[in-house]
Homo-oligomer: A and B are copies of this chain.
Amino acid sequence: MKRPTSQDVALLAGVSRAVVSAILNRTPGIRVSPEKRQAVMDAIAQLGYRVDAQARGMRTGRSRTIAAYGNLDNPMFLQVLQGAQQTCMQAGYHLLLYGKGGHPGEKEELLALYQERRIDGLLTKDATGFADEAFAAMVHEAGLPFVSVEGYPESEQVQSVLMDYGESIRMALDYMWRQTGLSPIYIAAYESDTVKWGDRHRLEAYERWMAEHGSPPRIFRLNVAEPEALRELLAELPGPAAVLCNWFAASNMVYRAAAGLGLAVGRDLFIMSADNTAQANRYMVPSLSSIEVPYVKMGAAAAERVIRLAEGKEPEDVPAKIWIPPQLAPGESV
C-alpha cells in the first residue's frame, strides 16, 4: 500500500490536484464550491493523506523549519528550546537542533543549512552579552531571518530577546529589604577578568539602589577559583547580614563558606541569587531565593519573531530588541 498523494485525493474527490492544493493552503482568491471542498476533505480523511513537506518545500523554496543553535551542556538552553518548540508547533513549523560542539567554523555552517535544508530562520541561545558582528553580518547578508536569545544587547542591527539585568537586581534588593530590612552587600563572581554586559548593568543597578537608600555600596569581586577569600569576608560581616550574588556559582560558594563558619543560612545570613542558571536553587538546603530569567518565554518570543520575519509579516519599524521581565522566585534563604 503506497503512500497517498494529492493525485490520489484529487481522483477520489473528482477534482484536479490544483484544487486540493488550494484548499489545503487556503490560497487567497480561490473559490471552491462547498460540495467540492467537502469531497476533498472526505477524500483526505479517507486516505489518510498528508502533504509531502519535501515536495512542497521544493516548490516553494521554504521548509517550514527553523534551526536552533546553542550549548547543549547548558540547561538554560533546554528551556529556550521548550519555548521555541511550542510556538513553532503552533505555527506549523518544526525545529532543527544544532549543538555547539567547539568547532571553529561551526556557526558558519548554519548558513549552509540555509541553502541545503532551506531553513526559514535561525535562533541562537548565546551567552549573556555575546556578540559576533561578523557572523551577524553574514547572516544578514544571506537574508536568513535571525534572532538571538541573550546575545547582541548593544547591536541595533541584530534582533534579540533580552532580560533587563538591572531590573533583576532592583527586584532582588527590594525583596530582601522588605523581608529583612537590611542593605545587602553585593558579591560578584567572575570566571574571567573582563566585566561583561550583564554584570555591568547589575553592578550599576546595585550602586544606584544603594545610593537611593542612603547606604554605602559594599561590592566584593570573587574569583571562582579562590573560594577562601569568601570565608574571610563572611567572618568579618556583622550578623545578621544579607548578601546578593550576581550568579548562582557565587551563591553556592557562599553556602559552602557559611557551612564552614557555622553560619545558618536564612537566619544568620540571608542570601539571594540574581539567577538560577544551574536550576539547583530549590535543591539547596535551605532553598535559595532568586530572580529567574524566564528562558521559556524568551525562547517562545524568539521563535515567534523568527517566524514572523520568515513570513515577511514583521513591519520594518519594530524595535530590534524584545525585553522579557525577570521573575521573583522566593525560597528559604531570605
Which A residues lie at the B interface, using CB under 8 A? Answer: 3, 48, 50-55, 57-58, 63, 68, 72-73, 75, 77-79, 81-82, 85-86, 89, 94-99, 101, 112, 115-118, 248, 252, 255-256, 259, 278-280, 283-286
Contact = CB atoms under 8 A, between A and B. Distances in A.
Given A280-B283, A284-B285, A85 B57 contact: no
10 contacts: A54-B63, A54-B117, A72-B78, A72-B79, A72-B82, A73-B82, A75-B78, A86-B99, A95-B97, A97-B97
Given A72-B82, A81-B99, A279-B75, A51 B284 contact: no
Contact of A96 (B79, B97, B279): B97
A276 B78 CA distance: 17
Nearest to A49: B115
A86 B101 contact: yes
Contacts of A115: 3, 48, 50, 52
A50 B57 CA distance: 16
B53 A117 contact: yes
A171 to B, nearest CB: 23
A116 B85 contact: no
A54 B51 contact: no
Contact of A78 (B48, B77, B118, B256): B77
Contact of A58 (B58, B79, B98): B58
